[in-house]
Amino acid sequence: MSAQPQLVADTDIQQPQERIELAAAYRLVAHYNLDDSIFTHISARAPENEGEHAFLINPFGLRFDEVTASNLVTVDINGDILRDSYGAGINKAGFTIHSAVHAARPDVHCVLHTHTVAGVAISSMEEGILPLNQWSLQFHNRIAFHDYEGIALDLDERERLVADLGDRNAMILRNHGLLTCGRTVGEAFALMFNMERACRAQLAIMSSGGKPVRVNEELAEKTARQYEGWDKHHAGNKPDPQWEAFQRLAIKHYPDLVT
């Protein structure tokens, strides 16, 4: 019987920033309890020297709190593994979703997908996210929807998924979960952080027994545009103060992520 793969890391090697930031995102998703055992994924475009049009994704079998900069797997758009220090390969379902977006959207650096209780609950409701609070208004008329087709193992689904996503950066995968895209890892993470809170708040409101107060269309659109103004000024450029703050938290609590 072959030995189980072990975490491989060389602390004497400085990992590329792309790997460190993606590893931080994995740790933050675990820190905020947005992970789902060894399933779901966050991907980001790999450093240029690791392969043309390649992206980084977690090795199959690791919890998010075990992901480090060095054990992220480099894979190309065709599913060929270019670098895998952990030796366990990747989840095929994760490859289907993430490769589709990376291939179709050159503007997207990072794709983040979750299966949280709140996200799955809202994805199972026809209404989606309602304009009930400031968090939800960020996504007003800006969410794409993709109908459930079973576990994402069919590569043919990629064409339909990216057609449904279009040029939007937030998607509800019906009966499945949530997905965000970003020009940076920080942007994709911040979108998911707020999208998750919007889902949790909506479920809390709906279960309270009180009568929800919806924000009117004009004000909802104004607020969404205000969010976009912030994003254009900060999230698409470095340094992004919010992402820097999140990274400090990740490295403070999980310093091994940089190895």
How many whole angstroms separate alpha carbon 254 and alpha carbon 118? Answer: 26
How many whole angstroms separate alpha carbon 149 and alpha carbon 159? Answer: 13
67-93: average pLDDT: 93
109-117: average pLDDT: 98
Instruction: Specify the range with the lowest mean pLDDT, choosing from 68-72, 76-80, 131-135.
Output: 76-80
166-193: average pLDDT: 97
210-236: average pLDDT: 88
The model carries a pTM of: 0.91
Would 5 be classed as within a structural domain?
no
Would 139 be classed as within a structural domain?
yes
How many whole angstroms separate alpha carbon 137 and alpha carbon 217? Answer: 10
Instruction: Specify the range with the lowest mean pLDDT, choosing from 8-22, 188-202, 218-232, 239-253.
Output: 8-22
Count of the separate structural domains present in the chain: 1
Q: Which residue carries 């998911």 as its tokens?
A: 192
In this predicted structure, the answer to whether residue 7 has a pLDDT above a threshold of 60 is no
Amino acid at 225: R
Residue 37 structural domain: 17-239
Would 186 be classed as within a structural domain?
yes
Q: Is residue 134 left, alpha or beta, with left meaning phi > 0 and alpha meaning psi from -120 to 50?
A: alpha
Q: Which residue carries 């310093």 as its tokens?
A: 255
User: Dihedral sign, CA of 36, 181, 129, 127?
Assistant: negative
Would 258 be classed as within a structural domain?
no
Would 152 be classed as within a structural domain?
yes
In this predicted structure, the answer to whether residue 219 has a pLDDT above a threshold of 80 is yes
Would 212 be classed as within a structural domain?
yes
CATH number of the structural domain spanning residue 225? 3.40.225.10
How many whole angstroms separate alpha carbon 183 and alpha carbon 213? Answer: 33
**Bridge partners, residue 111, by sequence:** 43, 181
**Bridge partners, residue 39, by sequence:** 36
